[in-house]
Amino acid sequence: MIKYKKDTENIVTLTLDMGQRHENVVNHQMYQYFKPVLTHLQKEKAKGTLKGIILTSGKKNFLEGGELEYLHTSIDPKEIYKHSLSLNKFFRALEHPGVPVVAAINGSALGTGFEFALACHHRIVVDDSKIRLGHPEVTVGLMPGNGGITRLLWLLGLEKAYTVLTNGKKYRPQEALKVGIIDSIAPNQKSMMEQAKQWLLSNNEGRRPWDRVDGKIPGGTGNDPKVAQVIQKLAAQLSRETYNNYPAPQAILNTLVEGSKVDFDTATTIESRYFTELALRPETRNMINTFWYDYNAIKKGINRPKGFGKFRAKQVGVIGAGRMGSGITFNCIKKGLKVVLKDVSKPIAELGKQYAKDNLVALVAQGTISAEEQTTLYNNITTSAKPEDFENCDLVIEAVYENEMVKAKALKDAEQHIDEYAIFATNTLSIPITKLAEAAYRPENYVGLHFFYPVEKVPLVEIVRGKKTSDETIARAFDFVRTMGKIPIVVKDDWGFYVARVQNTYILEGITLLQEGYPPALIENLGLQAGMPKGALAFADDLSLKMVLKYENQAAAHYGSQYVPHPAVATLKRMVEDLDRTGKFKQAGFYEYTQEGKYLWQKLGQYFPITQADYLHENIKERMLFAQVIEAIWCMQEKVISSVPEANLGSIYGWGFPAFTGGVFQYVNSYGLNNFIEKCEQFKKNYGPRFRVPRILKQMKKEGKIFA
């Protein structure tokens, strides 16, 4: 488990190697294993035969945090707190005896694993761009809780520590050095060990800044007037970004501020208390459920057809150098794929190449990639105006104008030049795949890949299965999306697929509220407070009111005589047909667009007078969320989507359903199925049949099930 080696210069190397596992995992039991080693080291120190310690790993990674599974099931605050304290104690024992310890980091160190590294006096990392370092805990609603926050506070100062702890970023070695969470980088393993030894031989200081009499937090404590102003600003920014829906970044800020005003050990106690509170919050549970368990389920292929070997695309063809095509191109080359980017002329295709270049330059600037990598990646793009150049592509993605004829032509042009194993994918948002596939020679190889704008930022892709799309094509599309580093969800070829269809219900509910006589500002503000990224009316404008209406018309066509008209349709028609206000594109929708920004259209009140007197905020917020959740359940019932993890992650990444809820289905779990059904019935009575309870939900109630 821990290999002990002492050299002639009294330097001890401890190599972590957790026998059975693939990875070294740190958790609250670690202290037990380390106790005898520490005792022995203390004896050596007393004898004066210990110069320093090098801590390194015998595995591919350095250390991973391993507490999530434990935390997700524990319910006793006393126990969580006790475990946090015991890890604290261990880290203190490691850094406190006055013998310098170097962390020689030869693999990823994340979460609690990085806290371990922070508890060492010096951190050296091998320069390997696969290595990831830092504290991504906030992305699952958590925070470091074993002194990690307090140590970063002392190493970076309050403001910088706050950024590193709340951006959820996993840093590459070069980035980590730049941001200041590691001390140096070594070109390779051997050099790292030499550097570590050199550092120990030239440094006798075994005390961390917080254990020194003259130690100071860089920039000052929360009692410093300048820092106090920064805190005020950070608190306000946080409030704007989270609407107080996310307890983790708030707890991190609180820990930093309170911790800055007391001594180190008191600060870590405060940290442990906040950590314990956070671990038991429902938001954290929801986020662990979705961003850890659901995410892993998709990664493992819950939705990938079985029995097909892994598809490794090497060269990708992209048709169309517009914003989607350019984004897809950039994303592909970033992941090491070769791209043939085609448009009607080479100069136009070059525009897409330029887009990739600009983004690569930005990556170099922030230290994500090196200048050499930039050149290599950039050279992976070939621009072209001829479909013949797709000859060696394993997959061609068409991202041209949203028009059936144009898409059919692009398909025909390209398909004759690619081999029978290659996939042809279309990036459409509203045209049925099955219909588009009619123009294909090989409809079984034809699939929808619905990327979202901006491609390189949104981590979700809808794989749309046409009627004739083969399982093998789906499996390959899945593997390709994974290669792009994205989360694939497989959806049925119905109107709007999954994302656009459910998103539309949020918009429609907002418009219904307007029609019912609620003030537009209230609708928008409560949407944001509920956790949505935009107000419903702003969403409508961005998408265009015509598109909102188009989706609803497609729903009407789909359900035929079963269709119950949505109350929002009348308002939509009025806006589009009578008032000619179709949205942002036309610079006129629910909003007015000016140079200084957008404002709600002042005449809205004239056409949709405010008649409501009571504003039940919670009720309105729930209406807007319930509308989406119920539609997602219909999607499940109609097999538009087939698994809970896809529905949850799809809702968060696809249209911005609030992450703290854990996604549409976790929302029901968290709300309580019976409470949810009861509320639906109440809403149905008050607001209409669109809130009726779908059959599968009733079935689940009968069987006492939850969404899992």
Partner 1 sequence: MTEVFIYDTLRTPFGKGNRDSALFEVRPIDLLSKCLKALQKRNQLDTKAVADLIIGCVIPTDGQADNIAKTALLHANWSSSIPGIQINRFQTSGLAAVGLAAAKIKAGWENLAVAGGIESMSRIHRKNNRGAISSDPDIMNKIGSIPSGVAADLIATMENFSKEQLDNYAFKSIQKAITAHQKNYFSKSVIPIYDQNKIPILVQDETINTAITLEEITEQTPIFPKSQRFGFDAIALRKYPLIEQITPLHSEKNIAQPADNAALVLVGNAEQSKILGLKARAKIVAVKTISTELTITHKGGIEAAKKTLAAAKLKPKDIDLWYINESFAAPALLFQKTFKIADKRLNPCGGNIAFGDALGANGAILLGMLIDELERQQLKRGLIALSAEGGIGKSMIIEIV
Give min distance, CB of 243 to partner 1, in A: 7
Q: At what angle do helices 77-95 and 30-47 cross, to 10 degrees?
A: 20
Give min distance, CB of 81 to partner 1, in A: 19
- Close Cβ partners of 86 (under 8 Å, ≥ 6 residues apart): 28, 31
Give the closest residue to 32 by CA, choosing from 111, 93, 119: 93
Give phi and psi for 609, each to the nearest 5: -65, 150
For residues 136 and 108, is the Cβ–Cβ distance under 8 A?
no
Residue 229 lies near partner 1 (rule: CB under 8 A):
yes
Give min distance, CB of 22 to partner 1, in A: 40
Give min distance, CB of 502 to partner 1, in A: 24
Q: Please name the amino acid found at residue 539.
A: F
b/e map of 582-617 (b: 16 or more CB within 10 Å)? bbbeeebbbbbbeeeeeebbeebeeebeeeeeeeee
Q: Which is nearer to partner 1, 110 or 238 (CB)?
A: 238
Q: Which is nearer to partner 1, 253 or 659 (CB)?
A: 253
Give the closest residue to 625 by CA, choosing from 532, 492, 515: 532
Give the residue, chosen from 104, 105, 253, 500, that forms a contact with partner 1 under the rule CB under 8 A: 253
Cα distances (angstroms) measured from residue 664 to each of 106, 657, 667: 40, 7, 5
Give the residue, chosen from 19, 48, 225, 609, that forms a contact with partner 1 under the rule CB under 8 A: 225
Residue 514 lies near partner 1 (rule: CB under 8 A):
no
Give phi and psi for 319, each to the nearest 5: -105, 120
Q: How many CA atoms lie within 13 A of 258 on its CB side?
A: 16
Give the residue, chosen from 234, 422, 502, 633, that forms a contact with partner 1 under the rule CB under 8 A: 234
Binders of partner 1 among residues 610 to 629 (CB under 8 A) are: 615, 617
Give the closest residue to 109 by CA, choosing from 90, 130, 89: 130
Residue 656 lies near partner 1 (rule: CB under 8 A):
no
- Count residues near partner 1 (CB under 8 A): 35
Give the residue, chosen from 57, 254, 426, 473, that forms a contact with partner 1 under the rule CB under 8 A: 254
Q: Which stretch binds partner 1 (CB under 8 A): 74-82, 307-315, 491-499, 521-529?
A: 521-529
Q: Which is nearer to partner 1, 4 or 615 (CB)?
A: 615
CA–CA separation, 104 and 124 (whole Å):
5
CB atoms within 10 A of CB 474: 21
Q: Which is nearer to partner 1, 136 or 249 (CB)?
A: 249
Give min distance, CB of 523 to partner 1, in A: 9
Residue 236 lies near partner 1 (rule: CB under 8 A):
yes
Residue 609 lies near partner 1 (rule: CB under 8 A):
no
Q: Return the HEC string of 388-403.
A: HHHCCCCEEEECCCCC
Residue 607 lies near partner 1 (rule: CB under 8 A):
no
- Close Cβ partners of 456 (under 8 Å, ≥ 6 residues apart): 327, 330, 331, 334, 359
CA–CA separation, 111 and 172 (whole Å):
14
Residue 532 lies near partner 1 (rule: CB under 8 A):
no
Residue 563 lies near partner 1 (rule: CB under 8 A):
no
Q: Is 262 helix (H, G, I), strand (E, B) or coil?
A: coil
Q: Which is nearer to partner 1, 256 or 455 (CB)?
A: 256
Residue 521 lies near partner 1 (rule: CB under 8 A):
yes
Residue 217 lies near partner 1 (rule: CB under 8 A):
no
Give min distance, CB of 605 to partner 1, in A: 12
Q: Which is nearer to partner 1, 401 or 599 (CB)?
A: 599
For residues 163 and 214, is the Cβ–Cβ distance under 8 A?
no
Residue 599 lies near partner 1 (rule: CB under 8 A):
yes
Q: Please name the amino acid found at residue 617.
A: H
Q: Which is nearer to partner 1, 538 or 633 (CB)?
A: 538
Q: What is the largest CA-CA distance in the chain?
A: 91
Give the residue, chosen from 72, 128, 243, 556, that forms a contact with partner 1 under the rule CB under 8 A: 243
Give min distance, CB of 266 to partner 1, in A: 16
Residue 519 lies near partner 1 (rule: CB under 8 A):
yes
Q: Which residues bind partner 1 (CB under 8 A)?
A: 222-223, 225, 228-229, 231-241, 243-244, 250, 253-254, 257, 519-522, 524-526, 528-529, 599-600, 615, 617
